[in-house]
Every structure is written in C-alpha cells, then in structure tokens.
A and B are shown apart, each in its own frame.
Chain A
Amino acid sequence: MEVLYLLLPLSVVLALVIALVLLLAVRSGQFDDLEGPAYRVLADDDNSSNSQASVVKPRDHSAET
C-alpha cells in the first residue's frame, strides 16, 4: 500500500503533463478540422507537398483518358 504514496503524486504530475500536451495540441490546430482527416485517410494517392512523388499518377490519368 505504501507505493500509493508515490503513485498518487506521480499521477497528479502526469495529469498536469497531459494537460500541457492538450493545450499545445489545441494551439497547434489539431482540433481545427475534425472531419477532414477521416477523408484524407481514404485518398488513394499520397499527399505529398513536393511534386516528385506524384509524377506517376498524372501519367496514369492521361493514359486512361
């Protein structure tokens, strides 16, 4: 039972750390768009900001049309 005297304060500290992470997450905009990520997962092509990765894809499209 004595271990509780260590664990309880530790859990309080942990809760404070979690709170800090939560505040940072809100600030960084993680909760700005709660719908988008669900759809982004479904997109089949890789979402890359540099264009090299998507070079293949447009060619596929042009072959189809």
Chain B
Amino acid sequence: MAPVSSIDAEVNSLTTAAGGVYAHPSVEQLFVRPTTNGGREAFLLIDGIRCGACALNVERGLQRLAGVRDAEVNFSTHRARVLWDGSRLKLADILGAVRNSGYGARPYDPSHRETGLESERKLRLRRLGIAGLFGMQVMAISLALYAGDFTGMQESLRMLLRWASLVLILPVIAYAAIPFFLHAASDLRRARTGMDVPVSLGLLIAFSGSVYSTLTGSGAIYFDSVAMFVFFLLLARYVEFSARVRHSRIAESLVTAPPAMATRLRATSQGLIPEPVLAAALVPYDRVVVASGETVPADGVLVSGGSTLDESLLTGESRPIRKTTGDEVIAGSLNFDSPIEVSVRHAADDTLLANTLRLVARARAAKPPAVQLADRITASFVAAMLLIAVVVALYWWYAAPDRWLPITVSVLVITCPCALSLATPAAHAAGVGALTKLGIIITRSHALESLAKANRFVFDKTGTLTLGKLIVSRIETQDELSEENAIRIAAGLEQNVSHPVARSIRSLCCGAPAQAKAIVVTPGRGVDGRVDGRRYMIGSVDFVAERLAQPQVARNFDAPELETVVLLADESRVIASFVLRDEPRADAVRVLERLRSMGISLSLLSGDRAQTTAVLATRLGFENASGELLPQQKLAVIRGMQAGGETVAAVGDGINDAPVLAGADVSFAMAGGPEAARASADLILIRDDLESIAASVGIARRTRGIIAQNLSWAVAYNLLAVPAAALGYVPPWLAAVGMSLSSLIVVGNSLRAGRARFPQKGS
C-alpha cells in the first residue's frame, strides 16, 4: 500500500485546484447543461452585489471572458445565466473569473425550486396586469355612465356602455379573480372561513346582480366596484409575495453549499489509486483518505494514520480530539494535522449527520404554528361578518327588495378583513426589511412574531458566545527569556504545523519567526527542533513532561479544565508556557446585557464539559447554565421550558445545535456555521455581530406593536362602517373606496416598521 503521506500531496492537488470541487467533472455535471453547438449553460448565484453597478461589473466581466457566448445578470435576484463554448472554457474557469473580479460565485441547480417560484410570480403578475388593465376600462365606462346620469344619456348608448363593461369585466372575474374563488372553495371544503370566502361571495353577488341588471336593462351595475376590489387585493398580495420571494431567495443562497467531495482509494494492479468522488457516492467499506484541513466525508473507522480531529460541530467539544487506528470518526468533523485513512461504515443517508438532520425534521413537524392564530382570528371575524351580511340581506329583501343587492355587496366589501390580511403582511415585510439591513435573514415567516414574544434566550457556547477557536490568552516565561523571544522560537518550531494551536501561536509572531532546523513533528502532541544551535521542544504538557523525563512538570502545569496549555522547553527545563482558551466574543457581554434589559431570561446550554461551561456562564452572568448535553438533551430542556409557558429563542452555530434550533419557538444561526444549522434556523446572522440579535428583538416587538395598531384601526373602522353599510348609507363604490383608503392607512402605518429607529437601551 502506498504510504499515506505521499497520497496526501496528490489529493491536495486534486481538491484544492482552481475552482475547488467545481473543477471536477462529476460535480460540474451536476450544474452544467449542454446546449447547441457544443455550448454549455449554467446558472450562478453571485455574492457581494451591493448595487446595480456591481451587477453590471459582473455581467461585463463575464461577457469579456474569451469563450463566453452570453452572460446575463439579473439585478433583482443576483442570479446569473451564462452560456459558453464547452471546448474553450470550464465551469471552474468562469467561477474563477467572477472571483477574481471580487465577487463570490456558486453554481446552482435552477430546476430545484427556483422555477416553481418564478412561474408563480409570473402567474400573479399576469393576473394583476389583467385586473389593472380591464379594471381601468371598466372604471372609465362607469365614470361615463355616472356623468350620463346628470347630462341625460340616450338609453341605447347607456345599454351599449353597460354591455361594454360587462365584456370588459369578464377577464377580471374569469381570470384575475380565480385565486379568490379557489381559496374560498378549498376553505369551504374544509369547513373553514378564510378571508376569501366573503371576498368571493361579494364578488359573485355583485357580478351576477350586475349581469342580471345588464341583461334586463334595469337596476344598477357594480362592475367598477368588482374591478377595483379585485385589483387592490391582487396588488396587496403581489407586494407581499414579492417581499417573501426576495427574502427566501437570499436565505436560499445562504444555505447553498458546494457538494461534499471525498477521495476514495481504488484498488488497481498498481496498488491503491486515489480518485475524487462525490461524498454521496460512497458506500460502506470504501477506503477514503482525509487530508489535513479536510472534512471527514462519512462515518467510519480510522484504519491508518493518526491525527487530531475537531468534532465540535457534532458534539460541541471545543478541544480537538486525538484519534488513532481503530477509532471511530464522524462525518462532518474536521481533520487537523495529518492525513488519515478511513474505512467507511455509514455513508450518505446513514451518517450521524444525516440522522441529526432527520431529528431536525421531526422537531420541525412539532413546531407550534404561531401564524395560524392570525388565520383563526380572521376566520371567526369572517364567519361573524358573513352572518351579519345574511341578516342584512334578508332584512332588506323584505324591507326594500330593490336595495338588498347593493347593500349586501357594500356590507361584504366594506367588511373585507383587508386591514388584517394586508396590513399584517405589509408590517411583516417592513420588519423583515429592517432585519435584512441589520444583516439578519429570516427563513420562516413566523419568526418575527415568535421573536416578539420570546421571553427566554438559550445560547450555545462554542462558536456562538465564544470565537470557536483557541487563542493565546496568557504567556509566562522563565527568568531571562523575553516574551517576544519565546514567541519567536515557538513560532519557528511550529512553522509548518497545521494544528489549530500552532496556528494560534504563529499568529502572535510579529516579525520573522526563528529559523528552526531539524524539525520533528509528533502529530497532535508536539514538535522538536533546533533554533540558533540549541535544541528546543514545544508541545502539550504530557509531551514535554515525557521528553524531559520530569513528571512534576505535568503537575506544575496541570491545565485548568477550560484551558489548553502548551509548553516550550529547552534540553533541561520548561522555559515558557502558553495558555490558550476559547475566548468569548467581544460583543457577547453587550448582547446579553441588552437582552436582559428587555426583560428576557437567559440560559446557556452546551455540549462542552460542564466545568468549562460553568466558568463561562459565571463570566458572562448567566443565571442558568448546563454543559455536557447531547442534542436530544438540549432539546428536552427546551421542551421543558416551553411546557413551563416560556417562548424560547435559541442561538447556535453547530450541527449539534440543529435540533435545538428547530425545536425552539424561534432560532438564530450564525452564517459561518454548517448548512444543517442554517437550514433549521428561523433567522440567520450574516454578519458576525451578536448585538444585532438584541436589535432584532426590538424590531420584532415594534412590528408587533404596529400590527396591533393596525388591528385596532380595523376594528374601529368596522364598528363605524358596518352599521352605516347595513343601514344602506354606503353605496358599493363608496364601500370599495373606503376599503382601499382603510388599507392605504394601515399600509402607510406598517411601513414605519421598516424605518424603525429603536432605542439603544431596551424598549
């Protein structure tokens, strides 16, 4: 068998080549479609577009690339479509060209779900356009008819105008208004009353009554009211839909990760040959090589080599774990220092990672649907209004048979719960816009509502409140050695070591590190070498104690549980010690303080060791903290809090947080975390800024306040308008105008949520 280290070099060249995984044919094939004349087509997500000119830059850059036939960047969606000559360019070249111009680019598969949204948007746009176009014609005619009432119009001309408006309203009723009828029908089938039931009823009564009037040539027609009503409702829904699509697009592009690759060893006559394959294509008992810095592609057993692995994404354990032959490794963990060979046991759908994702799905299914409350209120409101409309219709049927139709239509139109159904989404969209400006992307529509109600925040530790990497917090040197010199020697010894501790020590070094010779690396433990002719060693306490044959060293430098100690020694004794720890983020204290001032209780739940967790909890002032929790246990704790009547918001970053994020009422994930965590979170922090969490609570509460104002307005409006309409003081056109004005007022009010300037201290 070929030695693992020689394979390593080759593997690196395969996976880190320009274009990364996209350079590989099996990956390229996932995203590129052949067109005519050897052409290729792919769709890209462009990151970093902040302005229209940026999009233009990307488009020009792509068009100038030799071999590109056509490139088009959509400025609204930040998606690009590229057509190129397959014989002259590869997908990776195109991605590289975009990256060189300073933007990010990833291919995506547009057939995935994009096309569904796009065709729905076009359908809505067509319906809105038709309603607007024909609605205007009908309004113009009704104006002519209205003027005719005063100037005296020939009866034949009046008839012609009525017939013309009947023809013109047909597309509105038969095409544009179809969604209302379909929704109403499905509501009725399920014995519910949504807002589309009175809308449809009002439309149908007004329409058929007007058709009857047109046919018989007597009575009034209300086609103008019908047209106005349909147009405004469709407009409101279109606006709400586009806001939703825009945010889901941003969110979607955030959770699109490149497909995972693995390096499989294939048995041939010349021995084992490494070949890159998609991680999804691995099967049990495949041999794979994991180079240092790569992610383990599947659960398995280490069969050759030894290394330290970071399993923090899965277990929350902040310190890398030493693994040797025979140990089990988990998919998704990161290999730090030396290449290892793994025999796959569970691949693809059967890994711990995939199982965690299933847990997420289960938790999601049990999620309390806060949104449904608004629907239920609308439903009972609508049911009451329908009842009133029937009573009104019956009364006027007996009292004044020629007036029952306009009055009933007026009542149905004027009571349309538009303030409820339009203002709530509008306020919501404005609040979501304000969050986006803060760098927070919302992925579930209920998030804002739940966030406003949240009275407990649960934080994960590693990577969320802390930086998630080891940082040198203290250096102690013996007598004559200066701190600077110690760093210089240490950095020189650790020069080519990729272990996180080594990286952290190297990052301290100011000028040039010392020139170290005869370096011998003991993976995961330490380094020996010569600097300026003297022998030095650097490594873990055990390593140095063993080399010096001084067991007391191990006792002297016994690491406190939350710290990692690295010792630098010469031939005879320890000359310096470096204390590393996972430091809390600078903004962690501030965000906790602001949340507390908003009356929110705080908890720390971590998978890391209990003592480490407790120390951090005291430092940050948590009243409630527990460590050594498995994802399921974390979820159980949260379920307990929810059972106690609390609305729980969770903040996390790792795969181990995913079930918690899905099970909490509302959840935040850090954008830097893995896809699983982002996919199960309701809100994603794009910028590495914890304080925006507190700001987002302010926005959510403000949005909730605005929605409450809108609802009070709607109630006041209905208390005034419904009796007036029922008594016959409101003709249908006035009802439609009143409904539209009322909607405008609430929409105008809702937009304030987007301009929200929330106070710095609490709310």
Chain B residue contacts of A45, Cβ below 8 A: 60
Q: Which of A39, A51, A58 has the most CB of B within 10 A?
A: A39
Q: Knowing A47-B63, A49-B69, say if A22 contacts B56 (CB, 8 Å).
A: no
> Complex: how many Å from CA A33 to CA B242?
12
Q: Does B86 contact A (CB under 8 A)?
A: no
0/1 interface trace, chain B 109-150, chain A, CB 8 Å (1 if under): 000000000100010011001100110010000000000000
Contact assessment for B137 and A4 in the assembled complex, using a CB-CB cutoff below 8 Å: no
Contact assessment for B75 and A26 in the assembled complex, using a CB-CB cutoff below 8 Å: no
Q: Does A12 contact B (CB under 8 A)?
A: yes
Chain B residue contacts of A31, Cβ below 8 A: 122, 125
Q: Closest chain A residue to B124 by CB distance?
A: A26
Which single member of A18, A23, A32, A49 contacts B74 (CB below 8 Å)? A32
Contact assessment for B157 and A19 in the assembled complex, using a CB-CB cutoff below 8 Å: no
Q: How many A-B residue pairs have CB under 8 A?
A: 76
> Complex: how many Å from CA A8 to CA B160?
8
Chain B residue contacts of A26, Cβ below 8 A: 122, 125-126, 129
Q: Does B164 contact A (CB under 8 A)?
A: yes
Contact assessment for A12 and B52 in the assembled complex, using a CB-CB cutoff below 8 Å: no
> Complex: how many Å from CA A4 to CA B64?
57
Q: Which of B66, B118, B137 has the most CB of A within 10 A?
A: B137
Q: Closest chain B residue to A57 by CB distance?
A: B64
Contact assessment for A27 and B122 in the assembled complex, using a CB-CB cutoff below 8 Å: yes
Q: Does B662 contact A (CB under 8 A)?
A: no
Contact assessment for A43 and B130 in the assembled complex, using a CB-CB cutoff below 8 Å: no
Residues facing A in B31-55 (CB within 8 A) are 52-53, 55
0/1 interface trace, chain A 14-44, chain B, CB 8 Å (1 if under): 0100110011001100011111101110110
- B interface, over-half SS: helix
Chain A residue contacts of B70, Cβ below 8 A: 49
Contact assessment for A35 and B75 in the assembled complex, using a CB-CB cutoff below 8 Å: yes
Q: Closest chain A residue to B126 by CB distance?
A: A26
Interface size class of A (residues with CB under 8 A): 20 to 34
Chain B residue contacts of A40, Cβ below 8 A: 56
Total interface residues on B, CB under 8 Å, equals: 32
Contact assessment for B76 and A35 in the assembled complex, using a CB-CB cutoff below 8 Å: yes
Which single member of A9, A23, A42 contacts B164 (CB below 8 Å)? A9
0/1 interface trace, chain B 137-172, chain A, CB 8 Å (1 if under): 100000000000000001001001100100110010
Which single member of B55, B129, B134 contacts A36 (CB below 8 Å)? B55
Q: Does B562 contact A (CB under 8 A)?
A: no
0/1 interface trace, chain B 61-79, chain A, CB 8 Å (1 if under): 0011010011001111100
Residues facing A in B240-294 (CB within 8 A) are none
> Complex: how many Å from CA A32 to CA B171?
24
Contact assessment for B168 and A12 in the assembled complex, using a CB-CB cutoff below 8 Å: yes
Q: Knowing A8-B161, A26-B129, say if A15 contacts B168 (CB, 8 Å).
A: yes
Contact assessment for A12 and B55 in the assembled complex, using a CB-CB cutoff below 8 Å: no
Contact assessment for A38 and B171 in the assembled complex, using a CB-CB cutoff below 8 Å: no
Q: Knowing A1-B154, A8-B164, A35-B52, say if A19 contacts B63 (CB, 8 Å).
A: no
The smallest beta-carbon distance between A31 and chain B, in angstroms, is: 6
Contact assessment for A43 and B56 in the assembled complex, using a CB-CB cutoff below 8 Å: yes
> Complex: how many Å from CA A11 to CA B138?
11
> Complex: how many Å from CA A9 to CA B76?
40
Chain B residue contacts of A5, Cβ below 8 A: 157, 160
A-B contact pairs, 27 of them (CB 8 A): A1-B154, A5-B157, A8-B161, A12-B137, A12-B164, A12-B167, A15-B134, A15-B137, A19-B129, A22-B126, A22-B129, A26-B125, A26-B126, A31-B122, A33-B76, A33-B77, A36-B73, A36-B75, A39-B55, A39-B75, A40-B56, A42-B56, A43-B60, A45-B60, A47-B63, A49-B63, A54-B64
Residues of B within 8 A of A (CB): 52-53, 55-56, 60, 63-64, 66, 69-70, 73-77, 118, 122, 125-126, 129-130, 133-134, 137, 154, 157, 160-161, 164, 167-168, 171
Given contacts A8-B164, A23-B129, A54-B64, 20 further A-B contacts (CB under 8 A): A8-B160, A9-B164, A11-B164, A12-B167, A12-B168, A22-B130, A27-B122, A32-B76, A32-B118, A34-B76, A35-B52, A36-B52, A36-B73, A39-B53, A39-B56, A42-B56, A43-B56, A49-B63, A49-B69, A51-B66
The 5 closest A-B pairs by CB, nearest first: A36-B75, A39-B52, A35-B75, A33-B74, A22-B129
